[in-house]
């Protein structure tokens, strides 16, 4: 369940409020951030540079499966020299967090709510000579490691290898998978005379 | 001579009173709106408000047409900025021809005051260093420097200066981080803008013509 400060819930209940997206990148040289308003803010020691409405965020997925969710963040209207900055920075697979910022009517940031976290997977730069550039960032969720095949299996041997020789949690898996048999849990089954 | 940006509009030569037949200066909001089940409209602002302008010149002679054409070309499409002025309201409504005859501290009034106070909601400001009895009306504009940009604001409430000071309502709200003690430009207030779309140049067969173009505010 979301836990929001009371002033934020009051703002949302009013039905008229301001929100902005912010993205924090944990790069090798330190954390840096950008957000979608026209002035810089600092939160938790990280300065978020203004993008003034030039940043758009695709629908943030909220799946319940183990699929690798992705969020696309598009930044447009960039100076063409941004290409050199992107190329000269180690950004691939760096942790990043997408925040949803709630602002009051004064423009003060009341709360920054983490909305999505993951790793910077792709940065596609579209630029043309004499025109502003567009940067399309793909943030991939932490779930990506959960559906990759490794050497582990759900088997008795694998469980005893990891949990110790006495760990018989999966001792009946082979029987259950290969045969149709009723396993009586916690008691003996029917006994023959 | 190298050009500097943001570029001001080309100078107007007398006896012309202004370049534009029509000029609109309107706010653009980036919002998402939805109607709740109870019928109450909800709105969420997703990005800061910015100003959008449309300009359409009068019929220009050949030299003027070439001047404007070259001015537009120098902006490089949307790459370089120009000074977007609400041209039909370049001066406060009470002083349509300028501030001739007004004085402050014994000197002719330059058209620039001082931002002396900002109310807590940041939608109301006090401007001082104005001539006594200076009138600001609803709908007047002023601009202030914010960082490396000039931000323009429209008055939502007016007032008459008393003791050189007047308190007025503004929109959009003064951005967080802006402090008092900065200059308030009342004569030809402007904001940084870039061209939006392709300018329309309409020429006649006697080497005259008119130009229309749009601009969008640059916030950072």
pLDDT tens for residues B139-151? 999 999 998 999 9
Q: List Cβ neighbours of B109 (8 Å cut-off, separation of 6 or more).
A: B99, B102, B103, B130, B131, B134
A53 and B173 within 8 Å at the Cβ level: the answer is: no
pLDDT for B126 equals 98
DSSP A85-132: HHHTS--TT-EEEEEEEEE-TTS-EEEEEEEEEEEEEEEEEE--TTS-
Task: Provide the pLDDT for residue A128.
Answer: 76
Burial (CB count within 10 angstroms: exposed 0-12, middle 13-18, buried 19+), residue A28: exposed
- Shortest distance, CA A16 to any CA of chain B (angstroms): 5
**Nearest residue of B to residue A80 by CA position?**
B79
Q: Is B72 helix (H, G, I), strand (E, B) or coil?
A: helix
| Alpha carbons A114 and A3: distance in angstroms, whole number | 11
What is the ipTM for the molecules in this complex? Answer: 0.73
Whether B28 has its CB under 8 Å from any CB of chain A: the answer is no
Q: What pLDDT is stored for residue A147 in this prediction? A: 63
Quick one: pLDDT at residue A152? 80
Task: Give the pLDDT score at B2.
Answer: 86
**Residue of chain A whose alpha carbon sits nearest to that of B48:** A37
Q: From the list A16, A38, A105, which residue is nearest B48 (CB)?
A: A38
Q: What pLDDT, on the 0 to 100 scale, is given for residue A145?
A: 62
Q: Which tokens in the block code for residue B153?
A: 């604001």
Give pLDDT, residue B144: 97
Pick from A83, A51, A80: nearest CA to B48? A51
Q: Which of A86, A72, A76 is nearest to A121 (CA)?
A: A72
* Cα B131 to Cα B107: distance, rounded to the nearest angstrom: 10
The pLDDT value recorded for residue B13 is: 60
Query: Rounded distance, CA A52 to CA B48, Å?
Result: 7
- Mean pLDDT, consecutive 10-residue segments, chain A of 193 residues? 84 87 93 92 93 88 72 87 80 93 87 92 84 88 69 85 91 69 78 72
- B28 band by pLDDT with thresholds 50, 70 and 90: very high
Region B84-95 average pLDDT? 87
Higher pLDDT, B159 or A133: B159
Look at phi and psi of residue A52 and say left if phi exceeds 0, alpha if psi is from -120 to 50, else beta.
left
Query: What pTM, to 2 d.p., does this model score?
Result: 0.78
Q: Give first-to-last CA distance, chain B, whole Å.
A: 27
How many contacts does A have with B, using Cβ atoms within 8 A? 71
Looking at residue B193, its pLDDT comes to: 96
| B161-177 CB burial, b ≥16 within 10 A, e <16 | beebbbbbbbebbbbee
**DSSP secondary structure letter of residue B11:** P
Instruction: Inspect the interface and report whether the beta carbons of A131 and B45 lie closer than 8 Å.
Output: no
Of A142-146, B120-124, B169-173, B212-216, where does mean pLDDT reach its minimum?
A142-146
Q: Mean pLDDT, to the nearest integer, of B6-26?
A: 80
Contact A190, A181 (CB under 8 A): no
**Please, which residues have CB within 8 angstroms of residue A31's CB and are 6 or more apart in sequence?**
A24, A25, A45, A46
Supply the pLDDT for residue B169: 97
pLDDT in tens, B109-125: 999 999 999 999 999 99
Is 90 exceeded by the pLDDT of residue B104? yes
Phi and psi dihedrals of A82, rounded to 5?
A: -65, -25
The reply to whether residue B175 touches residue A53, judged by beta carbons under 8 angstroms, is no
**Cα A91-A95-A99 angle, rounded to 5 deg:** 115
CB B184 within 8 A of CB B127: yes
Terminal alpha carbon distance of chain A: 55
pLDDT, chain B, mean: 91
CA distance B88 to B100: 19
* Three-state DSSP class for residue B15: coil
CA distance A122 to A70: 10
B78·A132 Cβ contact <8 A: yes
């Amino acid at each position: 369940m979301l836990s929001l400060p009371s002033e934020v819930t009051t703002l949302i209940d009013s039905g008229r409020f301001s929100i902005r997206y912010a993205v924090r990148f944990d790069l090798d040289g330190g954390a840096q951030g950008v957000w979608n308003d026209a002035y810089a803010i600092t939160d938790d020691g990280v300065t978020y540079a203004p993008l003034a409405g030039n940043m758009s965020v695709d629908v943030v997925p909220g799946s319940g499966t183990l699929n690798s969710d992705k969020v696309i963040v598009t930044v447009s209207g960039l100076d063409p020299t941004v290409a050199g900055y992107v190329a000269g920075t180690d950004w691939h697979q760096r942790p990043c967090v997408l925040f949803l910022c709630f602002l009051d009517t004064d423009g003060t940031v009341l709360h920054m709510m983490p909305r999505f976290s993951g790793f910077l997977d792709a940065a596609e730069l579209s630029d043309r000579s004499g025109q502003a550039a567009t940067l399309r960032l793909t943030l991939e969720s932490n779930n990506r490691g959960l559906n990759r095949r490794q050497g582990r299996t759900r088997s008795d041997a694998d469980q005893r290898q990891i949990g110790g020789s006495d760990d018989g949690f999966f001792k009946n898996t082979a029987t259950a998978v290969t045969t149709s048999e009723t396993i009586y849990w916690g008691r003996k089954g029917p006994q023959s005379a | 001579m190298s050009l500097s940006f943001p570029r001001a509009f080309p100078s107007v030569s007398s006896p012309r009173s202004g370049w534009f037949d029509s000029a609109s200066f309107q706010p653009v909001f980036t919002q998402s709106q939805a109607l709740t089940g109870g019928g109450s409209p909800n709105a969420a602002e997703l990005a800061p408000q910015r100003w959008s302008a449309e300009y359409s010149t009068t019929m220009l002679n050949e030299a003027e047409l070439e001047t404007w054409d070259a001015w537009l070309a120098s902006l490089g499409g949307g790459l370089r900025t120009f000074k977007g002025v609400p041209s039909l309201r370049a001066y406060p409504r009470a002083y349509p021809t300028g501030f001739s005859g007004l004085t402050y501290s014994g000197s002719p009034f330059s058209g620039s005051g001082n931002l002396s106070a900002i109310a807590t909601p940041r939608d109301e400001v006090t401007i001082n260093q104005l001539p006594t009895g200076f009138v600001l009306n609803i709908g007047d504009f002023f601009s202030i420097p914010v960082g490396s940009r000039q931000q323009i604001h429209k008055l939502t409430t007016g007032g008459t200066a008393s003791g050189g000071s007047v308190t007025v309502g503004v929109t959009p709200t003064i951005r967080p981080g802006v402090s008092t003690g900065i200059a308030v430009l009342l004569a030809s207030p402007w904001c940084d803008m870039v061209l939006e779309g392709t300018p329309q140049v309409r020429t006649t067969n006697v080497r005259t013509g008119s130009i229309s173009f749009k601009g969008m505010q640059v916030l950072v």
